[in-house]
Amino acid sequence: MKETLFEILERICENDIVKSNPDIDLFETDLMDSLGFAELLADIEDELGILIAPSEVDRSTFNTPNRILTYLETRSAS
């Protein structure tokens, strides 16, 4: 799951810093905007089969590659 997610993030953010620094804040650094966020949710559903609603997550806590990964792991475990 980790690899797939980081591939998705790298593709959307057009930057491999998401892999080297997985605690980077994607929104504060402008790596991800509203468009990128929608792409992220669409790609997570397509490639990982986890359906996340846009209002489900809070962008102040769903904001780094690692935190997104943790969230996905809890979601797929339940």
Partner 1 sequence: MSFFDNYQFFCVLILILLPSLLLGILEQPLKWYSTAATILFTALAFFSKPEQAAYLILFFIIELTVVKGYMALRVSRDRNVRVYRLALFLSILPLILSKLAGLWGESIFAFLGISYLTFRCAQIIIETYDGLITEMSVFDFTAFVLFFPSLSSGPIDRSRRFLEDLNSIRPRREYLALAGEGIFKILLGLIYKLILASVFFKGMGMVDGARTWYYVIFYAYCYGFYLFFDFAGYSLMAVGTSYLLGIRTPDNFRRPFQSIDIQEFWDRWHITLSHWFRDFLFSRFMIQSIRKKRFKNRLNAACAGFLVNMLVMGLWHGVTPSYILYGLYHGVLLAATEWYKKKSTFYKNHRQKRWYRFLSWLITLQLVIFGFYIFSGKFVWLLGLS
Is residue 61 within 8 A of residue 67, CB to CB? The reply is yes
Neighbour count for residue 41 (Cβ, 10 Å): 17
Residue 28 interacts with partner 1 (CB under 8 A)? Answer: no
Tokens, residue 15: 């930057």
Closest CB to partner 1 among 7 and 39?
A: 39
Which 32-71 residues touch partner 1, going by CB under 8 A? 33-35, 37-39, 41-42, 53-56
Is residue 75 within 8 A of residue 50, CB to CB? The reply is yes
Closest CB to partner 1 among 1 and 38?
A: 38
Query: Which residues sit at the interface with partner 1, rule CB under 8 A?
Result: 33-35, 37-39, 41-42, 53-56
